[in-house]
Amino acid sequence: MSPMLHSILAFVQTWWVELLCAVLIVLVVPLIAVYIVLVERKAMADMRARLGPMRVGPHGLLQPIADALKLLFKEDLIPDNADQFIFWLAPVLSMTAALTSMGAVAIGPWFQVARDINIGLLFVVGVGALGPFGIVLGGWASNNHYSIIGALRSTAQLISYETTAGFALVSGFLLAGTLNVRAIVETQRTDQAWYVFLAPVGFFTYLIAWIAETNRAPFDLPEAESELVAGYMTEYSGFRWSLYFLAEYANMIVVASVGTTLFLGGWLRPFPNVRWLAGLDAAPTLLLAAVGAYCVFRAGKQPARAQSMFMWAVAFGCFVVAAIFTLALPFSHLPLERMHDGLYGAFWFLLKVSAYIYIFMWLRFTLPRFRFDQLMRLGWHILIPLALVNVVDVGIALALSSEFGINRWVAMVITTAATLGAAMLLLHWNDKYAAAASAALLTDSSIAEDTHAG
């Protein structure tokens, strides 16, 4: 056994950082996912002029913990005729896919589990594509009509938008010239532009397609509470349901991370090469200090002693982290100096990911749900042609700039204009179709009676 033990020890010695990151991902991401749920409830309440969870803990901050405890203590029900093995397997599959795909995502230049893997982002996307299995198997194993309809709808939606999602990523990969995560961010630094500015239509299609892929509103018909009870999650309760729920929010984090890496410059600060804007390096410290100062300001005004103690604790935490950031500056000659890239990179990355997730939530609160046929039509008739035209145009722009020496920005502007023209044409055709369909609907009375269904 000794050579085996030696090789295991050598393995751990070389890869201990990555193993630590992996353990952190499995422990911390579910916790972050539940707190994103809380942020969503608070933001949703704020947009509707109410307060959201306020009772459990100061300003409802312990609400996710209470929810988690409740779900853990709930009775574990398995329907009688359900397939026991697959009923158990389905949420596990969803959660495993979501967490494994987080492995290749680089949060800042130092935190990555699958370090320098050649296929980088494709790994994230590919393993994330195993998530739909959990959905369809869970819906089928529940032995329930609502579940299976929800599961089939969800899977149909997911495979419809997978093509668009892939093409949107391809347009980003064309610009980057590589699949390696670190190299993609480095090329954005050397090209001195985030790829969202070079390929805005690509980012737009990416945004929409991945909202559909993660079953978020306005594409959340599979889990529409008012229509299908809870879709494929109907028969799941307690811990199994929480696994599905967490898998959905973990997928959201993964999608935001991939979008940030490919389109929003990853862990680069805004204008990374511009020398006179180097003052932006102080932004993390200033931001955290501002949040700490605000907490101090509000601490005195809290009605209950527990709440003001909590505010003081948060302010203290903010100032400590701000101090760490200050000490990690490159000219401080302190041991924290080595962690400068890692810390600041992680800060900017997490800031961009939070902004992206906020956009996810914003769209959920504002837009009404798509009907299933509208959803299918959008996916197949509008988004796939648009994504295809976008890829062709990005390719043409790159060919123009490398073969004919036209400036990259000029080429990109020309081809983006062409793509937008194609988008206008697609929408025009869609409007004509929709007008014809509703005209047919009005003349056919037997169908008009049925407008309340689906």
Partner 1 sequence: MLDSVIFYFFAGIAVVSAVLMITRRNAIHSAIFLITTLLATAGIFLQLRAEFLFISQIILYVGGIMVLFIFAIMLVRLDVPLPQIRSRTQKWIALLVALAVGLEAGVVIWLARKVPGQGLLIPNAAPADKLAPNTEELAKTLFGTYLLPFEIASVLLLVAMVGAVVMAKKRTDA
Which chain residues interact with partner 1 by CB under 8 A? 3-4, 6-8, 11, 83, 85-86, 89, 117-119, 122-123, 125-127, 129-130, 132-133, 136-137, 140, 148, 152, 155, 159, 179
Name the residue nearer to partner 1 (CB basis): 81 or 226: 81
Dist CA 276 CA 247 (whole Å) = 43
Minimum CB–partner distance for residue 242 and partner 1 (Å): 23
Cβ closest to partner 1, residue 148 vs residue 196? 148
Q: Which is nearer to partner 1, 123 or 210 (CB)?
A: 123
Q: How many CB atoms lie within 10 A of CB 50?
A: 10
Q: How far is the CB of 119 from partner 1 (least distance, A)?
A: 5
Dist. CA 311–CA 317, nearest whole Å? 10
Give me the least distance between CB of 83 and partner 1, in Å please: 7
CB 75 to partner 1: min, Å = 27
Give 220-223 contacts, CB < 8 A, sequence gap 24+.
220/364, 220/369, 221/153, 221/157, 221/369, 221/370, 221/371, 221/372, 221/375, 222/135, 222/150, 222/151, 222/153, 222/154, 222/157, 223/150, 223/154
- Cα distance between residue 88 and residue 240, in whole Å: 8
Token output for 419: 């793509």
Instruction: Give whichever of 102 and 217 is closer to partner 1, judged by the CB atom.
Output: 102
Residue closer to partner 1 by CB (options 98, 318) is 98
The span from the CA of 245 to the CA of 242, in Å, is 5
Q: How far is the CB of 180 from partner 1 (least distance, A)?
A: 8
182, 198, 412 from 271: Cα distances, Å: 18, 15, 19
CB 7, min distance to partner 1, A: 4
Residue 258: CB minimum distance to partner 1, A: 14
The total of other beta-carbon atoms located within 10 Å of residue 453's CB is 6
Residue 183 or residue 363: which is nearer to partner 1 going by CB?
Answer: 183
- DSSP per-residue string spanning 162-217: HHHHHHHHHHHHHHH----HHHHHHHHHHTTS-HHHH-HHHHHHHHHHHHHHTT-T
* Cβ closest to partner 1, residue 9 vs residue 417: 9
For the CB of residue 166, give the shortest distance to partner 1 in the complex, in Å: 9
Whether residue 375 contacts residue 212, with contact meaning beta carbons closer than 8 Å, is answered with yes
Q: What angle do CA 309, 314, 315 make, to 5 degrees?
A: 95
Q: Residue 381 carries which DSSP code?
A: I
Task: Report whether 124 contacts 104 (CB < 8 A).
Answer: yes
In angstroms, give the least distance from the CB of 3 to partner 1: 6
- 126 or 330: whose CB is closer to partner 1? 126
Find the largest Cα–Cα distance for the chain: 82
CA 52 to chain centroid: 23
**Minimum distance from CB of 126 to partner 1 (Å)?**
4
- Region for residue 59 given its phi and psi (left: phi exceeds 0; alpha: psi -120 to 50; beta: otherwise): left
Nearer to partner 1, 129 or 426 (CB): 129
**CB nearer partner 1, residue 201 or residue 221:** 221
